[in-house]
């Protein structure tokens, strides 16, 4: 495959069409079956984003790690910085699903939120 062709899987619906992105001044998308796929392909080619799932250490809870995720997708180039910012972070139980764990993570204007409740345990 040449450098100016990229293949990605469309994740906008469970069908999972294989998209071929022809990169140039204008991005052309092939293999999509609907408008959402074309939009997804263009975004992947020009400004890809990802929701970031991770875990952080939690104190005084039943489990040692709390699952968290970014509330929205962040730019793909920022994902490593987001993970780095979470490294070594400790939170205290109790936590409710949806609580903000880190505001404006890695200066993305996106918050990291708790994925589940975690009660305090003595
Ligand atoms: S291109 Fe359309 S039909 Fe295909 S996976 Fe994407 S959203 Fe679904």
Position in ligand 1 atom list of the atom nearest CA 40 = 6
The reply to whether ligand 1 has any atom less than 6 angstroms from the CB of 29 is no
The reply to whether ligand 1 has any atom less than 6 angstroms from the CB of 35 is no
Note the pLDDT of residue 2: 61
Rounded to the nearest integer, the mean pLDDT of the chain is: 95
Reported CATH class of domain 53-114: alpha beta
Indicate the pTM of the whole model. Answer: 0.83
- Domain ranges in the chain? 5-47, 53-114
Helix (H, G, I), strand (E, B) or coil at 45: helix
Are 96 and 119 spatial neighbours (Cβ–Cβ below 8 Å)?
A: no
Does the pLDDT of residue 1 top 80, yes or no? no
Mean pLDDT confidence for 11-40: 96
Q: Whose CA is nearest to atom 1 of ligand 1?
A: 37
Taking 3-state DSSP, the helix, strand and coil percentages for the chain, each rounded to the nearest 5, stand at 20, 35, 45
Position in ligand 1 atom list of the atom nearest CA 9 = 5
The reply to whether ligand 1 has any atom less than 6 angstroms from the CB of 11 is no
pLDDT digits (tens, 9 = 90+) for 72-97: 999 999 999 999 999 999 999 999 99
Note the pLDDT of residue 3: 66
Nearest one of 57, 81, 61, 60 to 70, comparing CA atoms: 81
């Amino acid at each position: 495959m040449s450098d100016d062709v990229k293949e990605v899987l469309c994740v906008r619906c469970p069908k999972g069409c294989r998209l071929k992105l022809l990169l140039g001044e204008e991005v052309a998308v092939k293999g999509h079956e609907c408008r959402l796929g074309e939009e997804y392909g263009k975004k992947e080619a020009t400004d890809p984003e990802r929701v970031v799932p991770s875990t952080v250490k939690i104190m005084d809870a039943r489990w040692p790690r709390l699952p968290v995720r970014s509330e929205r997708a962040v730019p793909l180039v920022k994902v490593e910085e987001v993970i780095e910012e979470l490294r070594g972070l400790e939170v205290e139980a109790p936590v409710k699903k949806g609580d903000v764990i880190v505001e404006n993570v890695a200066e993305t204007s996106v918050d990291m939120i708790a994925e589940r409740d975690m009660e305090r345990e003595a």
